Amino acid sequence: MTGGAWWRNAVFYEIYVRSFADSDGDGLGDLPGIRSRLPYLRDLGVDALWLTPFYPTPDADHGYDVADYVDVDPRFGTLADFDALVADAHALRLRLIVDVVPNHTSSEHAWFRNALADPSHPDRARYVFRPGRGDGPPNNWPSNFGGPAWTRDPRSGEWYLHLFAPEQPDLDWHNPQVRDDFEAILRFWLDRGADGFRIDVGHALYKDPELRDEEEPFPQTPFASDWRAAIDRPEVHDVYQDWRRLVDGYDGDRALVGEVVFSDPRRVAAYTRRDELHMAFNFALLFEPWEAERLRGTIERSLAASEEVGAPQTWVFENHDVPRLPTRYGGGEEGLRRARAAALLLLALPGPAFLYQGQELGLEEVELPPELRQDPVFHRTGGARPGRDGCRVPIPWTREAPAFGFTTGEPWLPQPAHWGNLSAEAQADDDAATLRLYRDALRLRPQLAGPLDWRDSPQGTLVFARGDVLCAVNVGGDPLALPRGDVLLTSEPLPQETLVAGTAAWIRA
Ligand code: GLC
State pLDDT tens for residues 96-125: 999 999 999 999 999 999 999 999 999 999
Alpha carbon nearest to ligand 1 atom 12, residue: 64
For residue 157, give the 3-state DSSP assignment. coil
CA of 50 to the centre of ligand 1 (A): 14
Q: Are strands 150-152 and 11-15 parallel, antiparallel or unpaired?
A: unpaired
pLDDT bin (cut points 50, 70, 90) of residue 3 is low
For residue 486, indicate whether it is catalytic. no
* pLDDT given at position 497: 87
Point out the ligand 1 atom lying closest to the alpha carbon of residue 388. Answer: 9
Residue among 66, 107, 164 to mutate when testing ligand 1 (max atoms within 8 A of CB): 164
Show the beta-strand stretches assigned E in 211-356. Answer: 255-258, 279-280, 315-316, 353-356
CA of 108 to the centre of ligand 1 (A): 17
Catalytic-role residue among 99, 259, 360, 364: 259
Q: Under a CB-based contact definition with an 8 Å cutoff, are residues 397 and 406 in contact? A: yes
For residue 200, indicate whether it is catalytic. yes
CA of 496 to the centre of ligand 1 (A): 45
Handedness of CA 155, 157, 158, 161 (dihedral sign): positive
Point out the ligand 1 atom lying closest to the alpha carbon of residue 319. Answer: 8
Q: How many CB atoms lie within 10 A of CB 484?
A: 8
Q: What is the DSSP letter of 457?
A: -
Point out the ligand 1 atom lying closest to the alpha carbon of residue 261. Answer: 7
Point out the ligand 1 atom lying closest to the alpha carbon of residue 164. Answer: 6
**Tell me: the pLDDT tens digits for 268-326?**
999 999 999 999 999 999 999 999 999 999 999 999 999 999 999 999 999 999 999 99
**Tell me: the pLDDT tens digits for 387-412?**
999 999 999 999 998 999 999 999 99
CA of 15 to the centre of ligand 1 (A): 14
* pLDDT given at position 2: 43
CA of 382 to the centre of ligand 1 (A): 19
Nearest-angstrom CA–CA distance, 309 and 72: 36
Alpha carbon nearest to ligand 1 atom 7, residue: 201
Point out the ligand 1 atom lying closest to the alpha carbon of residue 64. Answer: 12
Residue among 201, 281, 392 to mutate when testing ligand 1 (max atoms within 8 A of CB): 201
* pLDDT given at position 191: 98
CA of 374 to the centre of ligand 1 (A): 14
CA of 475 to the centre of ligand 1 (A): 31
Nearest-angstrom CA–CA distance, 217 and 289: 26
Nearest-angstrom CA–CA distance, 72 and 227: 36
pLDDT above 90 covers what percent of the chain?
Answer: 97
Catalytic-role residue among 30, 200, 232, 375: 200
**Tell me: the pLDDT tens digits for 215-273?**
999 998 888 799 999 999 999 999 999 999 999 999 999 999 999 999 999 999 999 99
Alpha carbon nearest to ligand 1 atom 4, residue: 64
Give phi and psi for 452, each to the nearest 5.
Answer: -80, 130
* pLDDT given at position 1: 38
Residue among 107, 168, 283, 321 to mutate when testing ligand 1 (max atoms within 8 A of CB): 321
Burial track 295-330 (b if 16+ CB lie within 10 A, e otherwise): bbebbebbbebbeebebbbbbbbbbbbbbbbbbbbb
Q: How many CB atoms lie within 10 A of CB 221?
A: 11
Which residues form the pocket of ligand 1, taking CB atoms under 6 Å from any ligand atom?
61, 64, 101, 164, 200-201, 259, 320-321
* pLDDT given at position 242: 98
**For helices 434-444 and 332-348, what crossing angle results, to 10°?**
10
Mean pLDDT across 436-465: 98
Alpha carbon nearest to ligand 1 atom 2, residue: 200
**Tell me: the pLDDT tens digits for 476-496?**
999 999 999 999 999 999 888
CA of 64 to the centre of ligand 1 (A): 6
CA of 79 to the centre of ligand 1 (A): 23
Point out the ligand 1 atom lying closest to the alpha carbon of residue 65. Answer: 12
Strand partners, 95: 48
Average pLDDT, the chain: 97
Q: What is the DSSP letter of 133?
A: B
Residue among 18, 19, 61 to mutate when testing ligand 1 (max atoms within 8 A of CB): 61
* pLDDT given at position 214: 97
Strand partners, 463: 455, 472
pLDDT above 70 covers what percent of the chain?
Answer: 99
How far is CA 498 from its chain centroid?
34
